[in-house]
Structure 1
Amino acid sequence: MTLEPDAKELAARARADLRVGLPIVLGLDGAAGLVAAAETLSADRLADIREAGTPVLAITPRRAETLKARAYSDHVARVILPADAGCDWVENVANPADDLMMPLKGPLATERGGDERIAHAALRLTKSAHLLPAALVLPLEDGHSFAALHGLTWLDLTGAEEILSQTGSLTQVSAARVPLEVSRAGRVMVFRPSDGGEEHYAVEIGHADRAQP
């Protein structure tokens, strides 16, 4: 039957969940972890994640360098959350927007060694969802069962990591003529990606020869 979602569709579902603040569960080569996007994390969900275990905040090595934290890896830095860390702390560490207003965010302790595959995959997934590349990651013993118990999306990337860098094809869904100051023959076109992502808009000025590259 073709009713079950394939890997690409599950990845699209996972991206949508992260955008609305819903955690997902990632699996990769036997490892598993609960993943929540830092940008859309709520206080209630942060509290629930803490009750389930001890999460880390995965950020990029470049962000870690900016914050004077050690990454111990070329792929990801895993920041240990202080006991009193709330959503504001998570957002301040993840988001560089207020670095000039709040330059002192450390010192930050980071994990060294251990399995970083889920944390790295979490960064790639949040980035592909057009979110800040930062996520809370909680290691799980049985990710599939945990996802089923809590009604969360289970995305097993074993042998399918390439879907994290794949984008959906675009289909034109609408177009309209819009007179512009630079051209009366202007048109606005709307394209929708097949993976359920954000719509794309294009402005055409003049009469482009579509037979030309």
Structure 2
Amino acid sequence: MLRLANGAACILQAAELIGDGHREHLQRIAGSGALLVLTSSRLEALGHALPSEFCGASLPAHNLDHTGIGHLAIDPPVSGLIGASATLVGERRGSLADYATRLLRIAKLLPAVLLARLPSRDADKLQRICDEHNIMLIQNRDIDSYMTAAAQSLRVAARAKVPLRVAPDAEVAVFRAELGGDEHFAVIVGDIHGSEPPLVRLHSQCVTGDVLGSLKCDCGEQLEGALEMMAEAGSGVLVYLAQEGRDIGLLNKMRAYALQDSGLDTIDANHALGFEMDERYFLPACRILGEAWRQQGAADHQQSGQDRAA
């Protein structure tokens, strides 16, 4: 269940996880008809461009089974799927529909959602519905604050010397958010507190390029080249951010690749899936750089003290 500060609430489920009977179950709990919410990017790919004041739109889903939902929300977009007579209601930023798709983005799910609005705004009644049906209640303020709070709560969970082929004097520090979420890491090369400023690179995770050597990108070459430059310079920090596919996740990246195979470019493929051109958020990198600098400085100070004591 998602609830706004004004009391408006809905029951929701990711469109890509809808199965037989799920829509009916959603409607029974909420006591209202289900709506399918699609982002403006997805709707444009389906041939329905929205005015700029809308972030998406909803349409009645009471006559849609999970196959029909899949055609509209998940499958490669085909113009004409939404008829001219269909009732499309524009959804503004800050609406239940907007927060629902933002929540799915955090979960690395396609930003297409089936939701049913609850007629009551009574907090106690809404909580009873959650308790009765074992449903999690999420407030819109939780979505507003999550990305920033998670980034600010990043801490070094483990660190170790990891000699690399191109940078033998390297250390890896893994960062975990106390609030949960993605794990990131930093490769620290040499002494970053030396006389010269260290080189810095922010590198977004790319399993296909970094690990598999995909010919679709040069991410692996950029990664290795950056580490080589840091080793030659004597110091550097490479922040490796868990942002696969510009932060749409590996599964959705493969969906985008499939659309690229049919002729779309990277940006259009992301839009066709309902995402923005770039979903990345770089506050985690700021936090990691600050912590890497502080942690190595503290370690150097401790080692210096031990040497003097010896």
Give your verdict on TM over 0.5.
yes
1:80-126: CA deviation from partner (whole Å, max 9, x where unpaired): 3362421x44344334xx52xx6457125343269982111111222
TM-score, length basis structure 1: 0.69
Structure with greater contact order relative to length (CA < 8 Å, sep ≥ 6) = 1
- SS of the aligned residue for 1:181 comes to coil
| TM-fit CA distance, 1:78 | 1.0
- Identity over the aligned pairs, expressed in percent? 26
Out of 66, 86, 93, which is 2:45 matched to? Answer: 66
TM-superposed deviation, 1:34? 0.5
How big is the shift at 1:195? Answer: 2.0
Q: Which residue of 2 aligns with 1:126?
A: 104
Tell me the residue number matched to 1:38: 15
Gaps of 5+ in 2: 121-125, 194-292, 297-310
**Partner residue in 2 for 1:177:** 161
Number of the residue aligned with 2:178:
194
The list of structure 1 runs, each at least 4 consecutive aligned residues, that deviate by more than 6 angstroms after superposition, is 113-116
Distance in 1, matches of 2:183 and 2:144, equals 22
Could you say which residue in structure 2 is the equivalent of 1:49? 26
Aligned-pair CA distance for 1:191: 1.0
Partner residue of 1:80 out of 60, 81, 89: 60
Q: 2:145 aligns with which of 139, 154, 163?
A: 163
**Inter-partner Cα distance in structure 2 for 1:43 and 1:78:** 21
Per the normalisation by structure 2, the TM-score is 0.50
Query: How far has the Cα of 1:29 moved from its partner?
Result: 0.8
Choose which of 154, 169, 175 in structure 1 pairs with 2:137: 154
Consecutive unaligned residues in structure 1, runs of 5 or more: 1-23
Q: Secondary structure at the match of 1:205?
A: strand
Instruction: Give the drift of 1:156.
Output: 3.5
Return closer, same or farther for 1:155/1:91 CA change in 2, 3 Å cut-off.
same
For the pair shown, which has the larger CA radius of gyration, 1 or 2? 2
Contact 1:171 1:191 in 2 (8 A): yes
Matched to 2:47, the amino acid is: K
Which residue pairs with 1:106 in the alignment? Answer: 81
CA distance in 1, matches of 2:90, 2:54: 12
Query: Does the aligned pair in 2 maintain the 1:26–1:34 contact within 8 Å?
Result: no
Moved more, 168-177 or 201-210: 201-210
Q: What are the residue-to-residue correspondences of 1:130-145 with 2, within 5 Å?
A: 130-142=108-120, 143-145=126-128
Task: Look up the SS of the partner of 1:48 in the other structure.
Answer: helix
Q: CA deviation at 1:163?
A: 2.4
2:43 is matched by which residue type in structure 1?
A: A
Alpha-carbon distance, 1:165 to partner: 5.1
One-letter amino acid of the structure 1 residue matched with residue 118 of structure 2:
L
What is the match of residue 302 of structure 2?
none
